[in-house]
Structure 1
Amino acid sequence: MIIRQRQEQVVITGEVVHGKKLGRTIGFPTANIEAVHSYMPGVYSAYVYRAGVQHKAVMNIGTRPTIADGSHETIEVHLLDFAGDLYGEQLDVEVVEFLRSEQKFDGLDALLHQLQRDAFLARKHL
């Protein structure tokens, strides 16, 4: 994974790797990019560039405290209005706007509700 700054924007480049596949079970599949260098944890609106095509996205950087033990930082990107297999592909993720801090929720239903709000906010920023 590479993190670089491009004209006041942060761009994260990395290969999509297999995660726990929990997002797909709640209707919010994510492309997981293993975090080597850290960026500020939280939820962001972002653009994902895949094979020269721009996609709107919402991204989480952090330890996923609702569903994980908090010991491993990941980057998870949900491409809005996209369905398909991204494993092994190289993605460029352009961070656009910080939406909120990462937080722990009282279960998957509460997490999904917040993810839907995050996606709504991301669309407004993109």
Structure 2
Amino acid sequence: MIVVDIIHLAFPFDLETQGRKQVLAIGDFDGVHLGHQDVISKAVKAGNEAGVPVSVMSFHPHPREVLGQPKYASYITPLEEKMRIFESLGVDYAYVVNFTEAFAQVTPEQFIDKMLIPMNLHSIIVGFDFAFGHRGAGTVSMLRERCEPGIQVETVAPFLYKELKVSSTRVREALDGGLVQETADLLGRPYAVSGTVNGGDKRGRTLGFPTANLQLELPFVVPARGVYAVRAYLGDEVLGGVMNIGVKPTFTNNTVPSLEVHLFDFDREIYGETLRVDFLAFIRSERKFNSVQEIIEQIHKDAAEAKSFYF
């Protein structure tokens, strides 16, 4: 259960009740990767030192989706997942700004004067390249000029991995390539999705490998098609498994990939239950087989390799 206090805001903003002194970290924070965590951790440190609450402001839907890039309708961390991570990082309040075409027209000056200054902020923490307002015209220098000395503005240097800045774009590119180990390095945790187990076509049972067909309930970014070693969470149980993401080209002409998990040493019916899955390693790409026997032999190999990552 999420206990961070979530405050939804729509433009024009009504902030009359939000006059508490607070430290505010601002960003989109899709993925809450190591760079984002660095910004938030500095906000938490500043809040603790000043004895005031720590808040995060993010935007939903994704600004790029609203501005015409439909692939951003899927998220590394959908809103509910993002709030859960914020809480784990020590955030007290989360402001979720409804990003619309109208909000995209708000000038940097309007954002500062009508949004930030009325919030009675102690300080603002942002990334070094933070941009805001219409067409991203607002800069950190402008933010500092209009806010200080009443509100301190602190920037956080880029967080580097393999000598390059950690970014949501890098995370998405890694997932698109099935590079879940690199994704975990960028996020500081394994990439995870969750959903409800539904009936599926039950073909796995006929092959000797029953699977849980996972129906995602939130708009997660789905990694590249292929077979993965995974760790699954079913209530309080933690289980090893192997997941296939794909269209099952040997049997179907589907175009929408399904997510199917075979859980090791597990034979209960779990239809309708929630399953969370961590991606541990990429095993192989999806491919079409010449026979059912060839599929069965490959599944045995996949399962053995997945167990080497889990156990």
TM-score (norm 2): 0.38
1:75-114 to structure 2, matched below 5 A, reads: 75-114=259-298
Residue 199 of structure 2 corresponds to 18
Distance in 2 of aligned mates of 1:119 and 1:11? 19
Distance in 1 of aligned mates of 2:301 and 2:243? 13
The number of residues matched between the two structures is 125
Whether 2:300 is the aligned partner of 1:119: answer no
Distance in 2 of aligned mates of 1:57 and 1:18? 18
Structure 2 residue corresponding to 1:63, chosen from 244, 247, 261: 247
- Judging by fraction of residues, say which structure has more strand: 1
Where does the alignment leave 5 or more consecutive residues of structure 1 unmatched? none
Q: What residue identity is the alignment partner of 2:214?
A: I
Shift of 1:3: 5.7
Where does the alignment leave 5 or more consecutive residues of structure 2 unmatched? 1-74, 78-183
| Percent of aligned pairs with the same amino acid | 37
> Which stretch of structure 1 is more off in the superposition, 30-39 or 91-100?
30-39
Structure 2 residue corresponding to 1:9, chosen from 171, 185, 190: 190
Shift of 1:125: 1.0
Residue 27 of structure 1 corresponds to 208
The structure with the larger Rg is 2
Distance in 1 of aligned mates of 2:306 and 2:294? 18
Contact between 1:3 and 1:13, CA under 8 Å: does it hold in 2? no
Distance in 2 of aligned mates of 1:40 and 1:54? 24
SS in 2 for 1:9: coil
Distance in 2 of aligned mates of 1:115 and 1:29? 11
- Judging by fraction of residues, say which structure has more helix: 2
Q: What residue identity is the alignment partner of 2:233?
A: Y
Distance in 2 of aligned mates of 1:13 and 1:38? 11
Shift of 1:38: 2.6
Contact between 1:12 and 1:92, CA under 8 Å: does it hold in 2? yes
User: Cα deviation per residue 1:82-123 (whole Å; 9 max; x = unaligned)?
Assistant: 111010000000000000001110121111110000000001
Distance in 2 of aligned mates of 1:3 and 1:14? 14
- The 4+ residue runs of structure 1 with deviation greater than 6 A are none
Q: What residue identity is the alignment partner of 1:79?
A: L
Distance in 1 of aligned mates of 2:76 and 2:258? 14
